Amino acid sequence: MAGFYSLENKEVIRIKVKKCDGMMQPEYKKFSIDPQITSFEMLQGILAKAFDIKADFTLSYLARDAEGQEVYLSMLSDWDMDAAFQCAADPCLKLKVDLKPFDQELDDWDVIAPTEIPQHRITSLLDRNSLLGAITSNISSQVGKTMSSMQRAMGLKQSDETYKPLKPPMSDMEFHNYLDSAGFMVKPNEFRLSIYQGGIEGSLRRVAWRHLLNIFPAQMSGRERFDYLKRKEQEYYALRDEWKEKFASGSTTEEVKYVASMVKKDVLRTDRSHRLYAGGDDNKNILSLFHILVTYALTHPDVSYCQGMSDLASPLLVIQKDEAQAYICFCSLMQRLRSNFSPDGSAMMTQFRHLAELLQVHDPEFYEYLQSINAHDLFFCYRWLLLQLKREFPFEDALYMLEVMWSTLPPAPPEHDLALVDADYNVKLLSSSPCSPSFSFQHSVYAKLLAMRCSNRMRDFAVSGPSKPGLATLAPAHPKLRRQGASFDTSPGDEDRGLDYPEIDNPMTRSLQRRSNSIDQVLQDGASAAADAPQENGIPQENGEGDGKKESKDSASVRSEVQNVDGVSDSKMVRDDSQSQNSSSDSVNNLNCQQNDKTAERQGKPCIYPVPDCTVTVSDDVEGSAETNSSYANISVELGTADSEEDRIDDNSCHLDTDRQMQFNMSLESEPGTAGSAEQEKKDGEDEGYSGFFSSMKKLLSSPKRRPADIVIPNDISSSRNSSFSGTSSREQAMGEASLRRGHSDSGVSDGLVDGEASGSWSSSQPSQTTAAKPPSRPHPLPVVLPPPQDFGNGNPFLMFLCLTLLLQHRNQIIQAHMDYEDTAMLFDKMVRRHNVQKVLHQARELYSDYLRSQQTIAEQPANEKYGCSV
Amino acid sequence: MCISWWCAGVGKSCLLLQFTDKRFQPVHDLTIGVEFGARMITIDGKQIKLQIWDTAGQESFRSITRSYYRGAAGALLVYDITRRDTFNHLTTWLEDARQHSNSNMVIMLIGNKSDLEARREVKKEEGEAFAREHGLIFMETSAKTAANVEEAFINTAKEIYQKIQDGVFDINNEANGIKIGPQHSPASQSMPSGGGGGSQGGNCC
């Protein structure tokens, strides 16, 4: 498309505009613009300013159709605008402005092909400053993007100068630098890094968010993206209309009605203060939000609808301004976040735990204070995590925060096509008529409950020595639970269910049992018709045989759920699962041993904690070191395949008191990839995705006053940690020590957490071994671990640092006022939408780059030298 | 003190806002997890700080919200008089709440939205009968007009206070949701407060 229109030959486009507002007298205005520097958003800005329009409006232009008849065609994008300039601008372009909410004409909306701007326009844009004043003569030039950057700049002045972002928000012009002439996204990492540093101009968000949210498969030209989006939109409308038609004709099932009524209640109170959702309850945008959420719930029966989703979807609709496109973005976003809504609650627990660990590393004093008021579970941060902090900032600021956060995640384009439905959606449709997706509320209640309760118990009473059965209850995604989720008709099976949990038969669980039965009752009554959902609609992954098998099957099911996302999130989820198992236990050796056969399978990844100056390496038993070496090699090759070698190694790690130093040296000497260099390479390649991204980010982040990261040489750390370096970054030191502690604490490998983290946390190309060091000063080994980026915070480490920042920014207030749990929780509750986004992002970025640097330091350790997974 | 009910949208948050801020906000953010409110009241000449936890309605938050019940001294159980489904499952909820909480927890049954008389689906008598049967205090309120809102909270607080006077609640046990001031708080003699030990309190399950 880039070559379709050559705009150079037109220097000025004269425009006549007619503004129509319902029955009111139309208003007319005329002006001129330079087609080479005017983007669609700028044009909209000009019009809004010219007519003083506050609401949304649609734009169309007068063109001649094939028969020569005059027709108004919608102008929705730069592409349309270019077409209009080209074909309908002689002698002047006639525009019509209609004041309507955008989705009144939703069906007419075309897809925006954002990147279809000819390359030569970019260069001409470079001269924009010199041209602007001259050409947009009768209209203020400070509109559109200029205006938004002005506002940003002005906003910055108000806040403290020190909080200003590292660079101005990404502009349309800058964006095109990350694409090649055919519109291929050629610099995805740089694209993200730029957003990380300064966000995106409002006018570019619509386009840039689609890339940030990974809705496009890799390697698509602008043209292909256009077609893809168009196709996906059609797909969405088909999905939506499927239930909508039934809904309208009254032939729908009770489940659909139930979901619809829940969603309706919530969209009516989601972001209603935003102008797009304001006004009466018949607001068209609210209806769009409703459609998006109901469609998602019905096409993702395992997730269905949960409160909080409307908060996540709302900004997407605001930015995309199109129901179908917002849905596509939502699907992509939910692929990453759906586990937060999952019934077992393990994803949320992982994040609570990681946040607590992070706080403990950074601010032990505050952490201890929270501990003293029993608030160190940080449950009061629930909303933060579930809504990705979206509600903690004013809406516009939240958009900025969200894009910065997304930009910290490695690009994860869908392999072929972004799935708009769950894998089993069609099956369900076929197997039950008419449309009766099953629901997961039930297992939601029960399983989550179990998980929570048990983990609470474990945390509180870890000393009481959790036994294997107890642990089994910590793995909440029990196959049986999934079966419950598959069917509403469970009351007859209540006793059966009891039998399914022999391992948790104690007073506590019995009462849980009773309760869950009563919950079943509620739900059953609440959606009586839903009880018709046939049992055989069950989720595929039920009925494991044998304990260990169940576990692994289960994780396999988790895998399959996310398979279509990408390989990375796959392993991530599996590991989270296992981490949650170990989450709350400060427990004992035998625990790990018992668990190992399972965790090995699930974690599938060995680990290493190389620490700069460390001398003590903890690893497997020494016997047959040669053999162990070879198994290292294998492991580094066959990661994630849960082979027997791994099992053995994990097992071994239970008794690692012997000759650590020696073992460490051995592993250093072992050569990687002897068993299959192809696979090794493949693995490395996958690993690149994560560590490559994070480290490239880290490198680029080093601000001048900081010591550039790449200068950090491994052996240099020991001295720096003690002296000069600590001045540069005390936080980094803290993190380093954390790693040390982490390593150390497995001098009682003992520590369930350490073991769990250990096995799950290091990047996949590392040999399976644990390196440890003597703790710097701590009297007791702390179970403090900062997992690597791909694991931290469920693969979203930056969210952890944002949350940490919010905590740190109020820590003095809390400690000085001796706030108790409720006061603390209330304080943060009342801070809803009141945090200062610049201040928070500023601090979070600093903390985050310290973290990346410390991770880098670890990564650059011997293993790195050996395996060349440097960055 | 805890405001609870299974169903979303019965007006829990609005009731709380009316009580703590004396205003009605028809469009309120849907509650994620647990939200909070607090107000000082005076009972029997004593300053009492009521801390109220507003729990989310949807089941998916149950595990989070449930952890808060444990330490609560009182609970408002809210249903919507214009939606019978919210009334129909009171028994189940009650069983669950009693199982889960302190056995002495004062529970008040609230039929909210009494201003919407025209759309009433649940008769006042039904609410009264249910309350009588289960030994609850009952009141119909309107968060919109503020009718009975003050009374609902304060009566519940009085009931708790009475139980303290009678020695039913052990005020030295924070798991009961009661704390004696004023170590760290504004001048107050006795503080029945919501929640207490949070999710850590008690023997976990």
Q: Which of A387, A522, A822 sits opposite B89 (nearest CB)?
A: A522
Q: Which of B14, B86, B92, B93 to mutate to test the interface with A (most CBs of A within 10 A)?
A: B92
| Distance from the B164 Cα atom to the nearest Cα atom in chain A, whole angstroms | 21
Diameter of chain A measured on Cα atoms: 91
**Residue A256 CB contacts under 8 Å (≥ 6 apart), including other chains:** A243, A246, A247, A294, A298, A435
Q: Which residues of B touch A386 (CB under 8 A)?
A: 32-33
How far does the CA of residue B110 sit from the closest CA of chain A (Å)?
19
Which chain B residue is nearest to residue A342, measuring alpha carbons?
B60
In this predicted structure, what is the pLDDT of residue A635?
28
**pLDDT for B40 beyond 80:** yes
What pLDDT shows up at residue A861? Answer: 64
Predicted confidence (pLDDT) per residue in A63-91, tens digit? 887 777 788 888 887 778 888 887 777 78
**Contact (CB, 8 A) for B43 and B130:** no
Question: Which residues of A fall within a CB distance of 8 Å from B51?
Answer: 822, 826
Our CA angle for B5, B11, B12, nearest 5°, is 55
Contacts (Cβ under 8 Å, ≥6 apart) of A467: none
Beta carbons of A266 and B193 less than 8 Å apart? no
* Cβ <8 Å between A820 and B200: no
Predicted local confidence at residue B196, as pLDDT: 26
In angstroms, the CA A619 to CA A768 distance is: 8
Q: Residue length, chain A?
A: 871
Cis geometry, peptide bond prior to residue A479 (ω within 30 degrees of 0):
no
B89 and A526 within 8 Å at the Cβ level: the answer is yes
Distance CA A575, CA A596 (A): 13
Q: State how far residue B128 is from chain A, nearest Cα, in angstroms.
A: 22
Structure tokens of A726?
């600590």
Phi, psi of A224 (to 5 degrees): -65, -35
Dihedral pair phi/psi, residue B39, rounded to 5°: -155, 145
The Cα A535–Cα A521 span in angstroms is 17
Confidence band of B102 (pLDDT split at 50, 70, 90): confident
* Buried residues in A803-812 as b, exposed as e (16+ CB within 10 A): bbbbbbebbe
pLDDT of residue B7: 53
Q: Name the residue among B30, B85, B88 with its Cβ closest to that of A269.
A: B30
Is the CB of residue A735 less than 8 Å from the CB of residue A854? yes
Residue B106 has pLDDT above 80, yes or no: yes
Report yes or no: A865 and A715 within 8 Å, Cβ to Cβ.
no
Summary mean pLDDT of chain B: 77
* Structure tokens belonging to residue A852: 């990346």
- Shortest Cα–Cα distance, A307 to chain B (Å): 7
Task: Tell me if B205 and A509 make a contact (CB, 8 A cut-off).
Answer: yes
List of chain A residues whose C-beta atoms are within 8 Å of the C-beta of residue B96: 515, 518-519
| Chain A positions in Cβ-Cβ contact with residue B199 (cut-off 8 Å) | 374, 377, 379, 456
A484, A435 in Cβ contact below 8 A?
Answer: no
**C-alpha span between A196 and A211 (Å, rounded):** 14
The closest alpha carbon to A335, from A100, A572, A503, A523, belongs to A572
Q: Are A490 and A518 in contact (CB under 8 A)?
A: no
Do residues A738 and A850 lie in contact, with contact meaning Cβ atoms separated by under 8 Å? no
Question: Which residues numbered 144-203 in B keep a CB inside 8 Å of some CB on A?
Answer: 179, 183-184, 193-195, 197-201, 203
Q: Is the peptide bond before A434 cis (omega within 30 degrees of 0)?
A: yes
How many other CB atoms are found less than 10 A from the CB of residue A491?
12
Q: Choose the closest CB to B27 out of A272, A311, A379.
A: A272
Phi, psi of B52, rounded to the nearest 5 degrees: -120, 130
What's the N-to-C CA distance of chain B in angstroms? Answer: 19
Q: Which two tokens stand for residue A499?
A: 């039998």
Number of residue pairs across A and B with CB atoms under 8 Å?
153
Cβ atoms of A199 and A140 within 8 Å: the answer is no
Residue A67 has a pLDDT of 75
Q: Which residues of chain A have pLDDT under 70?
A: 1-10, 22-23, 100-162, 426-691, 698-785, 860-871
Query: What residues in B contact A270, CB-CB < 8 Å?
Result: 29-30
Quick one: pLDDT at residue A191?
Answer: 95
A802 Cβ contact partners less than 8 Å away, ≥ 6 residues apart: A389, A401, A405, A840, A841, A844
Nearest to B62 among A341, A445, A818 (CB): A445
Give chain B's largest Cα–Cα span. 49
Torsion of CA A417, A418, A422, A426, to 10 degrees: -40
Cβ within 8 Å, pair B89-A525: yes
Task: Give A699→chain B minimum CA distance, Å.
Answer: 37
For A528, name the nearest residue in chain B, comparing CA atoms only.
B85
Q: What is the pLDDT of residue A15?
A: 87
Selecting from B53, B99, B184 the residue whose C-beta is nearest the C-beta of A515 gives: B99
Check: complex ipTM more than 0.85? no
Which candidate from B61, B66, B184 shows the least CB-CB separation from A818? B184
Per-residue pLDDT, averaged over B11-19, amounts to: 88
Closest to A605 measured CA to CA, from A629, A566, A578, A583:
A578
Cβ contacts of A259 within 8 Å, gap of 6 or more:
A294, A297, A298, A304, A305, A439
Q: Give the B window 84-143 contacts with A, CB below 8 Å.
A: 85, 88-89, 92-93, 95-96, 99-100
What are the DSSP calls for chain B, one per residue? -EEE-SSTTSSHHHHHHHHHHS---SS-PPP-SEEEEEEEEEETTEEEEEEEEEE--SGGGHHHHHHHHTT-SEEEEEEETT-HHHHHTHHHHHHHHHHHS-TT-EEEEEEE-TT-GGG--S-HHHHHHHHHHHT-EEEE--TTT-TTHHHHHHHHHHHHHHHHHTT-S-TT-GGGTEE-TTSSSSS-S-EE-S-SSGGGSTT--
- Token duo for residue A612: 């700069």
Model confidence pTM above 0.90: no
Residues 6+ apart with CB under 8 A from B68: B2, B34, B53, B55, B194, B195, B198, B199
Q: Kindly determine whether residue A512 and residue B6, on different chains, have CB atoms separated by under 8 Å.
A: no
CB B3 within 8 A of CB B54: yes
Half-sphere exposure of residue A680: CA atoms within 13 angstroms, side-chain side: 18
Does the beta-carbon distance from A386 to B32 stay under 8 Å?
yes
From chain A, pick out residues whose CB is under 8 angstroms from the CB of B67: 379, 452, 456
Q: For residue A793, what are the contacts with CB-CB under 8 A and spacing of at least 6?
A: A350, A351, A354, A355, A799, A800
